[in-house]
């Protein structure tokens, strides 16, 4: 089965993307206790993996709500997950405490920005974020380049003025250097996807990605998508599908959705493609909740862009 792109998603592909997304959200809803944060340790000792997973859950749920293409049941589940995540973060109090405890850290603000974009605000954290992001220190954080862009994206979502030279930050990323495409490995592939996510705010601002990088991705994203589809690396493949929807002339991969739908388990979980999921769904959560989160986002954005982008402005190669 080929993975060539099409100018538009046909009805079958749209239905499959919707199915994958809906089932992924349903699985996340059934497994939401896996995202519960530890409550028997001091705030600063709550595991980073736990914070990250809960933030990703909030991201997916928020995007389902933002795009408003889900059916009533899926939309209700996503809203419930967003409310659940906000409660787990003590309605922002936990993020405020974490940020106040370690002012140089950026992850509390990054996480908070996901909720702020959905209308969940915390007055004290808003003030603290505005202060910290205005410091000189915020512009010299020793992050990898795409993480620097994550902080810029968070500031924008919260509504704090951005003082960084975004073009200079882009130039430091792997994608910004437009390297030889065969030099892409899994680590840099995730860097590519997140550079696009941060610059376009997960597809809401496709124009945030410079034209030269749009052209580069139009040339090489189909190749990379084919590689990761053939290797059944579902987690990264789904991230590349999201990238395609974030472009000004979105790239759609209709036949890939057939492969993804086949890989998705009956309960909605999507395996990462690197490890075999255990039969027990609770045990499978550890290594397979991330690709399922990504599937929820990918399915949502594919349907949304397919329904809203005029065929003449969509693009594809091959």
Domain boundaries, the chain: 11-313
Quote the pLDDT of residue 92. Answer: 98
CB atoms within 10 A of CB 142: 7
The tens-digit pLDDT sequence of the chain (318 residues) is: 444 445 578 899 999 999 999 999 999 999 999 999 998 889 988 989 999 999 999 999 999 999 999 999 999 999 999 999 999 999 999 999 999 999 999 999 999 999 999 999 999 999 999 999 999 999 999 999 999 999 999 999 999 998 899 999 999 999 999 999 999 999 999 999 999 999 999 999 999 999 999 999 999 999 999 999 999 999 999 999 999 999 999 999 999 999 999 999 999 999 999 889 998 888 999 999 999 999 999 999 999 999 987 654 555 433
Quote the pLDDT of residue 201. Answer: 98
> What's the sign of the alpha-carbon dihedral 234, 235, 236, 237?
positive
**Spatial separation of the C-alpha atoms in residues 59 and 119, rounded to whole Å:** 13
**Spatial separation of the C-alpha atoms in residues 192 and 308, rounded to whole Å:** 25
Nearest to 306 by CA among 9, 74, 103, 18: 9
pTM of the full predicted structure? 0.94
Quote the pLDDT of residue 40. Answer: 86
Query: Are the C-beta atoms of residues 7 and 311 closer than 8 Å to each other?
Result: yes
* First-to-final CA distance of the chain: 14
Quote the pLDDT of residue 57. Answer: 98
Query: Are the C-beta atoms of residues 256 and 225 closer than 8 Å to each other?
Result: yes
**Spatial separation of the C-alpha atoms in residues 286 and 277, rounded to whole Å:** 9
Query: Are the C-beta atoms of residues 220 and 182 closer than 8 Å to each other?
Result: no
Query: Are the C-beta atoms of residues 204 and 226 closer than 8 Å to each other?
Result: no
């Amino acid at each position: 089965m080929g993975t060539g792109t099409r100018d538009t998603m046909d009805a079958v592909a749209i239905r499959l993307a919707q199915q994958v997304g809906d089932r992924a959200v349903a699985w996340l809803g059934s497994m939401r206790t896996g995202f519960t944060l530890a409550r028997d340790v001091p705030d600063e000792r709550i595991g980073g993996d736990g914070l990250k997973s809960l933030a990703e859950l909030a991201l997916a749920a928020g995007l389902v709500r933002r795009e408003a293409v889900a059916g009533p049941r899926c939309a209700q589940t996503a809203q419930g997950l967003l409310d659940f995540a906000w409660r787990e973060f003590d309605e922002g109090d936990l993020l405020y405490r974490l940020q106040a405890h370690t002012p140089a850290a950026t992850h509390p603000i990054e996480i908070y920005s996901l909720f702020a974009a959905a209308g969940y605000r915390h007055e004290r954290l808003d003030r603290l974020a505005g202060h910290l992001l205005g410091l000189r220190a915020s512009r010299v954080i020793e992050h990898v380049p795409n993480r620097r862009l994550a902080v810029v994206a968070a500031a924008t979502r919260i509504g704090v003025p951005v003082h960084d030279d975004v073009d200079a930050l882009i130039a430091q990323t792997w994608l910004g250097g437009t390297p030889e495409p065969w030099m892409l490995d899994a680590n840099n592939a995730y860097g590519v996807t997140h550079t696009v996510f941060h610059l376009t705010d997960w597809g809401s601002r496709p124009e945030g990605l410079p034209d030269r990088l749009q052209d580069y991705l139009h040339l090489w994203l189909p190749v990379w998508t084919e590689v990761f589809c053939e290797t059944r690396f579902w987690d990264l493949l789904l991230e590349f599908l999201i990238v395609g929807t974030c472009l000004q002339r979105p790239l759609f991969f209709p036949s890939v959705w057939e492969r993804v739908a086949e890989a998705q388990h009956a309960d909605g979980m999507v395996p990462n493609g690197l490890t075999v999921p255990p039969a027990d769904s609770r045990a499978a959560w550890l290594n397979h909740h991330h690709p399922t989160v990504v599937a929820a986002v990918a399915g949502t954005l594919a349907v949304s862009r397919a329904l809203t982008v005029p065929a003449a402005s969509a693009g594809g190669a091959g």
